[in-house]
Amino acid sequence: MDYKDTYQEWLKNPYFDETTKEELRKIADDDNEIKERFYTDLEFGTAGLRGVIGAGTNRMNVYTVRKATQGLANYIAKVGQKEKGVAIAYDSRRMSPEFADEAALCLGANGIKAYVFESLRPTPELSYAVRKLGCIAGINITASHNPPEYNGYKVYWEDGAQITPPHDTGIMAEVKNVTDYATVKTMDKEAAKEAGLYEVIGKAIDDAYIEELKSQVLHWDAIKEAQKDIKIVYSPLHGTGNIPARRVLKEIGFENVYVVKEQELPDGEFPTVSYPNPEAKEAFELGLKLAKEIDADLVLATDPDADRLGVYVKDTKSGEYISLTGNMSGCLLADYEIGQRKELKGLPEDGALIKTIVTTNMADAIAKAYNIRLIEVLTGFKFIGQQILNFEQSGKGTYLFGFEESYGCLIGTHARDKDAIVATMALAEAAAYYKTKGKTLWDAMIDMYEKYGYYKDDIKSITLKGIEGLEKIQSILETLRNDPPVQIGDYKVISARDYKKDTIKNLETGEVTPTGLPNSNVLYYDLTDDAWLCVRPSGTEPKVKFYYGVKGTSLEDADQKSAALGEKVLEMINAML
């Protein structure tokens, strides 16, 4: 069937409810909208589903959620693990509770018990709950930092990480095999409860999760000494972080935590921001206003599902609040956690710092300074989680810290996804520790630049929506793949990595070696002077991203080099459009 036939099928089939049909009737005269909604099925990718909420096969709705869950249930049955059950969490977005219930009732109808959180919870707590409850999988209904019209469906496996091979491809295949929506199973909620297939969870998991976070504190002494002097502004950006972030800060002793009132309560419309992304400057406008009023030391904001943390720190010399990128805050925490662990306990011989391929080279310098292993993985925190699992299964390797440039890190191994709640706690602790040394977090950042080098990392991206946009994104990747650059701005390309072909080509010698990482549509260029460029399509948005980094001799020099390389990257993009 073409998209018009599928559209008509949804209008006629008694399986689809009247509200859905009424929504579809309203677009009867808009062929382009019908095409966008029905030209394909919303793709179940390696991270699950993510899309605009609405009626249609290419939208997030109760039917696409059920279909995805039926595929997941079929895979769980195939691997013989139905008895373990599935944990389900959701965030503050439109339809999140409804989608969570649809998933739970589909699982129940397939004889798989669902453990459903009583109300919204952070992504890292779902990751924790999967392992705590001994589940085979987890589902989190969230679209992270996407605009309000989006929602999503993330799948986790029994290790608490988002699905990786072979489970990702296995689940994707089962979802694809569900071609008739009417064959998808569901059941009545009360009947599911009576049958023991739907269990509400909450406080017990919350308490255990918070205790796990508190066990990661290194300097209770510093917190006790500085807790009355540290002022923290926090915003959950209308999401899930409000209760757990405030709770953990209070329980470890911080007394002066000021919440941005306008952004405190859950709201899927995200009324104070155009989209709730802690990377965006506008997300901090209200927080910075409050920070200046109370003279705060640091300003923190978590995204709606509380797996990513944005940070501003005060520079006492200028009185200004300085934004820390994900690379900067990640390195600040890595250096603090690893450095203080070394001071207090010593470091294990097999200790490792893990980063993604688009994360700053300062991480490499930190690992080298502490004489620990630096492991590089593909973009996506699940690959960091996979390394932790490898350590556990092999008995070789000790996880010390892991982070990615997109404002996500994990301290401890209680979860297998990035955790902004534990990062909030750790940054507050680090602020207290440095305060006892007469320093701010910004002073600590400057010390790191002096010690490791003035690394500066940035990103350029272009959004290309719709069918034509997806084709253009693939065209850009193929153009670069078939004709790789040999010079980018002032930098010579030393080697070109193609993670789709699993090759690293040394451009000086012509030698080709494998990347050693899984297949991925990503290109990476190692440049002279410790600079680099990486090109990859976004896994969650209709974007192609160009990540790059430089190393300068000072903050000003690094800024200038980064700006110059950024201009050359833009020139390269424009030439391909």
Q: Which of 447, 343, 360 is nearest to 403 (CA)?
A: 360
Tokens of 498: 């193609």
**Which residue in the block uniquely carries the two structure tokens 């688009």?**
358
- In the prediction, which pLDDT does 540 show? 64
- In the prediction, which pLDDT does 248 show? 98
DSSP string, 264-290: -S--TT-TTSSS--TTSGGGGHHHHHH
pTM: 0.94
| Cα–Cα distance measured from residue 160 to residue 280, given in angstroms and rounded to the nearest whole number | 28
SS3 322: strand
Tokens of 69: 């869950």
| Cα–Cα distance measured from residue 113 to residue 376, given in angstroms and rounded to the nearest whole number | 37
- In the prediction, which pLDDT does 473 show? 85
> What is the pLDDT tens value at each position of the chain, 577 positions in all?
799 999 999 999 999 999 999 999 999 999 999 999 999 999 998 779 999 999 999 999 999 999 999 999 999 999 999 999 999 999 999 999 999 999 999 999 999 999 999 999 999 999 999 999 999 999 999 998 889 999 999 999 999 999 998 999 999 999 999 999 999 999 999 999 999 999 999 999 999 999 999 999 999 999 999 999 999 999 999 999 999 999 999 999 999 999 999 999 999 999 999 889 999 999 999 999 999 999 999 999 999 999 999 999 999 999 999 999 999 999 999 999 999 999 999 999 999 999 999 999 999 999 999 999 999 999 999 999 999 999 999 999 999 999 999 999 999 999 999 999 999 999 999 999 999 999 999 999 999 999 999 999 999 988 877 777 778 888 888 989 988 899 999 999 999 999 999 999 999 999 999 999 988 999 999 999 999 999 998 766 778 899 999 999 999 999 999 999 999 998 988 888 7
- In the prediction, which pLDDT does 237 show? 97
In the chain the domains, ranked by start, together with CATH numbers, are 40-208 (3.40.120.10), 231-452 (3.40.120.10), 456-576 (3.30.310.50)
| Cα–Cα distance measured from residue 9 to residue 38, given in angstroms and rounded to the nearest whole number | 11
Kindly list the catalytic residues.
144
- In the prediction, which pLDDT does 46 show? 77
| Helix extents (H) in 239-354 | 242-252, 285-294, 326-344
| Cα–Cα distance measured from residue 494 to residue 486, given in angstroms and rounded to the nearest whole number | 8
| Cα–Cα distance measured from residue 292 to residue 314, given in angstroms and rounded to the nearest whole number | 10
Helix (H) or strand (E) segment spanning residue 24: helix 18-25
**186: DSSP letter:** -
**198: DSSP letter:** E
Instruction: Give the number of residues written for the chain.
Output: 577
| Cα–Cα distance measured from residue 374 to residue 11, given in angstroms and rounded to the nearest whole number | 55
